[in-house]
Amino acid sequence: MMKFINKRTYIAALGSAALLLGSSCSDFLDEENKSDYTQENYFQTAEHAEAAINTLYYELRFVSDGSGTYGESPFMMLEFPTGLLNTEVGQSQANRDLRNLTTNAENNYLINWWQRSFKSVANANLAIERIPDIDMNEGDKQRLIGEAKFMRAFNYFNLVRIFGKVPLILEPVDANSELLYPERTEQAQVYEVIVQDLKDAEEAGLPDTDNTGRVSLGAVKTLLSSVYLTMAGYPLQAGDEYYKLAADKAEEVIDNFDYRLFDTYAELHDKKLENTGEFIFQNQYLAGANITNGLTAWLLPRSKKISVFSDEYGVMYPTQAFINSHETGDKRVEEQQFYFTEYPSIENPDVMVDFGGSYIFKYFNEEAALNTAQNDLNWTFFRYAEVLLTYAEAGFEAYGPTAKVLDAVNQIRDRADLPYFDASVTREDIWTERFHELSFENKTWFDMVRRRKVLDLETGQWEDFIGHEFSYGPKLTEKYLLFPVPQREISNNTKLLPNNTGW
The reply to whether 168 falls in a domain is no
The reply to whether 148 falls in a domain is no
Partners of 354 in the β-ladder: 342
Q: How much is the pLDDT for 174?
A: 85
* Position 25 confidence tier, pLDDT thresholds 50, 70, 90: very low
The reply to whether 331 falls in a domain is yes
The letter for the amino acid at 241 is E
Q: How much is the pLDDT for 37?
A: 52
- Per residue in 436-470, pLDDT tens? 999 999 999 999 999 999 999 999 999 999 999 99
Q: How much is the pLDDT for 191?
A: 98
Q: How much is the pLDDT for 68?
A: 72
Q: What phi and psi, each to the nearest 5 degrees, are found at residue 86?
A: -105, 170
Q: Which helix (H) or strand (E) holds 383?
A: strand 379-383
Of 428, 446, 471, 94, give the one whose Cα is nearest residue 318.
Answer: 471
CA atoms of 87 and 27, how far apart (whole Å)? 38
At 9 the three-state DSSP class reads strand
Per cent of the chain over pLDDT 70 is 92
- Per residue in 271-328, pLDDT tens? 999 999 999 999 999 988 889 999 999 999 999 999 999 999 999 999 999 999 999 9
Strands 462-464 and 317-318: unpaired
Partners of 151 in the β-ladder: none
The reply to whether 426 falls in a domain is no
At 389 the three-state DSSP class reads helix
At 53 the three-state DSSP class reads helix
259 and 277 Cβ atoms separated by less than 8 Å? yes
* Position 153 confidence tier, pLDDT thresholds 50, 70, 90: very high
The reply to whether 301 falls in a domain is yes
Q: Please count the structural domains in the chain.
A: 1
Residue burial 260-278, b: 16+ Cβ < 10 Å; e: rest: ebbeebeebbebebbbbbb
- Per residue in 379-421, pLDDT tens? 999 999 999 999 999 999 999 999 999 999 999 999 999 999 9
Work out the average pLDDT over 10-18.
33
Say if residue 16's pLDDT is above 70. Answer: no
- Per residue in 56-109, pLDDT tens? 999 999 999 988 778 899 999 999 999 999 999 988 999 999 999 999 999 999
The reply to whether 299 falls in a domain is yes
Q: How much is the pLDDT for 38?
A: 61
The reply to whether 305 falls in a domain is yes
At 12 the three-state DSSP class reads strand
What's the Cα-to-Cα distance from 171 to each of 52, 128, 206, rounded to whole Å?
Answer: 15, 8, 23
What's the Cα-to-Cα distance from 163 to each of 118, 184, 480, rounded to whole Å?
Answer: 12, 10, 10
The reply to whether 357 falls in a domain is yes
Average pLDDT of the chain is 92
Half-sphere exposure of 81 (CA within 13 A, CB side): 28
**Domain carrying residue 318:** 294-365
Rounded to 5°, the CA angle 274-61-71 comes to 105
- Per residue in 213-230, pLDDT tens? 999 999 999 999 999 999
The letter for the amino acid at 398 is A
* Position 40 confidence tier, pLDDT thresholds 50, 70, 90: low
Compute CA 417 distance to the chain's CA centroid, rounded to the nearest angstrom. Answer: 27
CA atoms of 466 and 108, how far apart (whole Å)? 25
Asked whether the CA dihedral 166, 172, 177, 180 is positive or negative, the reply is positive
